[in-house]
Amino acid sequence: MVKVQNNIATREPLPVFLHGLLPESLVDLSWTDPQLGVQNAAWWPEDDVSGELGTNKKWGAEVLTLDVERKVVKVSRKQVAMTAAEKAARDALIAAQWADQIAARRFQVETGGVTMAGVQINTERDSQSLLTGAAFAASIDPDYRIKWKAETGFVDLTGEQILGIAAQVRAFVQACFNREAELLGAVADGSITAEMLEEGWPE
C-alpha cells in the first residue's frame, strides 16, 4: 500500500491504528476521526509496471504515478547498469548457491546405497569406512570371510567378494564426485540448468 495525499504518492507505512482495515476502506479515509490526522489521506494498492529486469541490470529509483480512475498507484522502477564489482558479487553468490545444491545432490546419491553382485550395499559414510577396513583385512588374508550386514540382512562374503564390492563401491563414490565436478564446470561456464542437477549420476 502507498500513501496518497494531495495527489502525491509517497512510501509511508500504514499507521498502526489503520491496520486490519480492508483495502477498500483505505482508499478514502474522510470518514475517520479528524484527530487521527488522516482524513485527507489514503493508502492505495500498488501495481508494479516495471517490467522484467534486464541482463546485468539492477533496480534504481522508483516513480510513483497515480491511477485515479482505478485508485491504484503505478510503480515503475528505473533499470540501472550494474557495476563490475556488483556483477562479480552477484555471480559469486549464484555460483555458491549452485555449489551447495550440487554438493547436497551428490551426497544424496553417494550415500543412497547401490546394488552390487545381487547385494544391496549401504553406502553411507560409516558403511564406506567399514567396507574399507574389511577390504584391507581381505587383502592381507586371502582366506578372510565375514558376515556382512547388507540392507536386506546378513550375507556371507569371501575375501575376494569383499575386495570386489569394495572396489565397486569406491568406483561408485568416485563417479558421484566426478559428476559433481562436471556440474561445477557447467556452473563456471554458465551452462548449468536445473535439469542437469538430476542427470548423469551413477546408479
143-180 pLDDT per residue, tens: 999 998 887 889 899 999 999 999 999 999 999 999 99
- Per-residue confidence (pLDDT) for residue 151, from 0 to 100: 79
143, 159 contact by CB (below 8 A): yes
Q: Which of 36, 38, 47 is nearest to 1 (CA)?
A: 47
List pLDDT tens digits, range 54-66: 989 999 999 999 9
For the record, the C-alpha cell of 172 comes out as: 561408485
Alpha helices, H only, the chain = 23-26, 84-110, 125-140, 159-189
- The torsion region of residue 53 among left (phi > 0), alpha (psi -120 to 50) and beta comes to beta
**Among 81, 111, 144, where does a domain finish?**
81
Q: 129 and 31, same structural domain?
A: no
Domain range enclosing 12: 2-81
Q: 119 and 182, same structural domain?
A: yes
Q: 94 and 73, same structural domain?
A: no
DSSP state of 54: P
Q: Is residue 51 part of a domain?
A: yes
Mean pLDDT of 3-25: 94
Q: 62 and 144, same structural domain?
A: no
- Per-residue confidence (pLDDT) for residue 116, from 0 to 100: 80
For the record, the C-alpha cell of 181 comes out as: 565436478
Number of independent structural domains in the chain: 2
Q: 62 and 108, same structural domain?
A: no
Q: 161 and 105, same structural domain?
A: yes
Alpha helices, H only, 111-158 = 125-140
- Per-residue confidence (pLDDT) for residue 39, from 0 to 100: 93
Q: Is residue 203 part of a domain?
A: no
Q: 139 and 54, same structural domain?
A: no
Q: Is residue 180 part of a domain?
A: yes
131, 169 contact by CB (below 8 A): yes
Q: 39 and 8, same structural domain?
A: yes
- Per-residue confidence (pLDDT) for residue 169, from 0 to 100: 94
Q: Indicate whether 187 pLDDT > 90.
A: yes
Mean pLDDT of 118-147: 91
| pTM for this entry | 0.68
Q: Is 133 helix (H, G, I), strand (E, B) or coil?
A: helix
Q: Indicate whether 79 pLDDT > 80.
A: yes
Q: 91 and 185, same structural domain?
A: yes
Q: 104 and 28, same structural domain?
A: no
- Mean pLDDT score across all residues of the chain: 93
Q: How far apart are CA 37 and CA 32, in angstroms?
A: 8
For the record, the C-alpha cell of 81 comes out as: 547498469
Q: 88 and 72, same structural domain?
A: no
